[in-house]
Structure 1
């Protein structure tokens, strides 16, 4: 069981090693990196490459760890008891299985994605220590002990919005997806647009990397934004010659809204372009 990337996902040697090491160690793989570098997509492609189903748990600021295990709907049970419903005699009718429970009881080994774990409360990772380590938990209302039939491949993503507890980190295999270099980006572009004209890619990458090097940008454009930008360039028939005539230091790139995602960065770049034009007179 080895992950070597897929036709749709360009995985570096280091990333392949991290995925396979986590599988061998049977530990969760904690993936960090800039937004837009393919952390969530990695779980989808690992599942596809290994022929496993994928279960997703998208974490929000209001998400509690208990929700991943199960939820007991006491309100519905109380209402049914008042209505004389016979279902109230089986408390299991009011237990809603969470994503971890579904992964644990799956007969086929699966990939479990816990996406953006850093969005939740700081206690969220600590509340899952035993469940992810021992792959079991108790349902207190019914007295059941749920144990993993086949230990899932767990992939956890984080955008580094907050620090994760040391006890949690100790139980994970960690990998940081560094921003791709130019050669890797060209391979990623080729996956999405196999017939794209290479001169256009080169000119687009010149502008893209020039933008990323602008100091004090609040959000640097990411890989996914480059892919979106190229799609728009192709749709609007903007060719390599048009891009080559753009001076990154004195003009806004065409369709810059695909690359810059907040007004502060747009205004800063507009001021820099204005100052550069005045200085060239």
Structure 2
């Protein structure tokens, strides 16, 4: 069982090897990389490529590890007991399964995505160590032990917003998705827009990589933003000549809102354009 990419996702050789290694080692695959490099999409495409169901657990700053296992709704049980509801005698009626429980209980092997784990509290990864290691957990309210019917393929993504604990890292297979080079970027564009004019791609990529090389840029444009920008360029039918003959004294590219996402970077490019105009006088 090997992951070879899909028609919608260009996977480099290193990434394919990382997925296969994690599957063979039966360890979670920890994926890091710039935002917009396809970390979350990887799990979706691995599930499609291997023919497995996908369960997604998107982590927020308020997410607790316990929520991935189960939650006990004591408030509802108390209310039902006051109303004389018969279902209060079965505590299982108030246990809500989490995403890990769903993955463990699945009748076939699934791909489990734990997305943006670094958003949660620093203790979040440590609180899942035993469950991810032993593939089981104990439900105290019912006295049952939930064991994985099939060990899920676990993909964990991180944007490096905070460091992850060493004990957690030891249990993972790690891969960093490097930013695509020009050849890989062309393949990605071809997947999204098979009929796009290559002259437009060439000029757009020149501007895109020039932007990424600007010193001091707070947020470099990502792959997904280039894809969005190309879509707008095609929708507005902007000729590639406009991109090719761009004036360096006007450093802001057309429809820049798809590439630049904060005012500091816009102001930076405007200052660079102003300096270029002064130097050219």
Q: Which TM-score band applies after superposition, normalised by the shorter structure?
A: over 0.9
Contact 1:203 1:243 in 2 (8 A): yes
Match of 2:244 in 1: 244
* Structure 2, unaligned runs of 5 or more: none
Contact 1:210 1:248 in 2 (8 A): no
Distance 1:271 1:61, change over 3 A: same
Once residues 247 and 122 of structure 1 are traced to their aligned partners in structure 2, the CA distance between those partners, rounded to angstroms, is 48
What SS class does the counterpart of residue 61 from structure 1 fall into? coil
Superposition pairs of residues 165-176 of structure 1, within 5 angstroms: 165-176=165-176
Once residues 213 and 249 of structure 2 are traced to their aligned partners in structure 1, the CA distance between those partners, rounded to angstroms, is 11
* Structure 1, unaligned runs of 5 or more: none
- 2:171 matches 1:179: no
Q: Structure 1 length normalisation: TM-score?
A: 0.99
1:62 Cα deviation (Å)? 0.1
Contact 2:248 2:276 in 1 (8 A): no
1:279 Cα deviation (Å)? 1.6
1:108 Cα deviation (Å)? 1.1
1:126 Cα deviation (Å)? 0.1
Once residues 249 and 72 of structure 1 are traced to their aligned partners in structure 2, the CA distance between those partners, rounded to angstroms, is 62
Match of 2:205 in 1: 205
Match of 1:144 in 2: 144
Once residues 160 and 35 of structure 2 are traced to their aligned partners in structure 1, the CA distance between those partners, rounded to angstroms, is 10
Contact 1:207 1:248 in 2 (8 A): no
Once residues 249 and 60 of structure 2 are traced to their aligned partners in structure 1, the CA distance between those partners, rounded to angstroms, is 39
Poorly superposed stretches of 4+, deviation over 2 Å: 247-251
What SS class does the counterpart of residue 278 from structure 1 fall into? helix
What SS class does the counterpart of residue 124 from structure 2 fall into? coil
1:251 Cα deviation (Å)? 2.4
Q: Deviations over 1:52-93 (max 9, x none)?
A: 000000000000000000000000000001111111100000
Contact 1:8 1:192 in 2 (8 A): yes
Once residues 180 and 276 of structure 1 are traced to their aligned partners in structure 2, the CA distance between those partners, rounded to angstroms, is 29
Once residues 83 and 277 of structure 1 are traced to their aligned partners in structure 2, the CA distance between those partners, rounded to angstroms, is 77
Q: Deviations over 1:208-252 (max 9, x none)?
A: 000000001110000000000000000011121110011456421
Match of 2:262 in 1: 262
Match of 1:30 in 2: 30
Q: Structure 2 length normalisation: TM-score?
A: 0.99
User: CA RMSD for the aligned pairs?
Assistant: 0.8
Distance 1:113 1:249, change over 3 A: farther
